[in-house]
Structure 1
């Protein structure tokens, strides 16, 4: 079964497709994600890098340091400024799609919170999710939780 998820920037100059199931979805409360999203947190949908295809436009990029000390390449629309993707220097096989740019966000259900030590005090951190005070050393638990959640959802639909 082939799957395709689609998304775009706010102005529509850049459109993309994802041709694989996501690996995980989490919320990041680091101060950089708060600035990037102009909100309380950023939302990252991790997918295989080779599954993302730009079908219109060409994102611009800049690289910034992360709160973890690592580098993040940020891809965005140079017309409307919408952040679309984050490429992490420590993992070239995956890319984080800024999940709010998907055309359909109704199915999104984050499984974890990163950098809870810098979360806004009014944000409720659910005990039903995996929660990390900073950057987790290993992202496998987030992927495992995502797979578990989505296999349960698929069984309920069948």
Structure 2
């Protein structure tokens, strides 16, 4: 019997890449609120687990910003029909009560996904939030996020360098 596209992806494709991230991670997060002005640097810990038979992974993390604790969760998957990485993201600082949905393409070392956020109190224009995951071997990953203005200008917002613990 022929293997399904998901079974093949799990053995040697993008789902295999995600599955290999499962584990405990420790590292450092840098945060910028203004372009090129570092606002905070703090320790971060995270855990990546499997969801629904390795169809998705869940990245649960905690850290601090200006000495105040924050928590977050990102569910990441690979959409086989559309050949896109996808994610939903919530956290106790950046997103408030919103859920950001993002999608994007594979890159040489991981993926780059784009979501949008905004609020009616700030008008109709939405801001973008581009998240890159870079994988450096089996024991180091870097998550970098960029704010994208409604005019398309990007500025680094966060950078988290994680090592497997």
Confirm or deny a common fold (TM above 0.5): no
Determine which structure has the larger strand proportion and give its number: 2
Please tell me the TM-score bracket, short chain as reference: under 0.3
Q: Which structure has the higher relative contact order (CA within 8 Å, separation 6+)?
A: 1
Normalised by the size of structure 1, how large is the TM-score? 0.25
Normalised by the size of structure 2, how large is the TM-score? 0.24
Determine which structure has the larger helix proportion and give its number: 1
Please identify the structure whose Cα radius of gyration is greater: 2
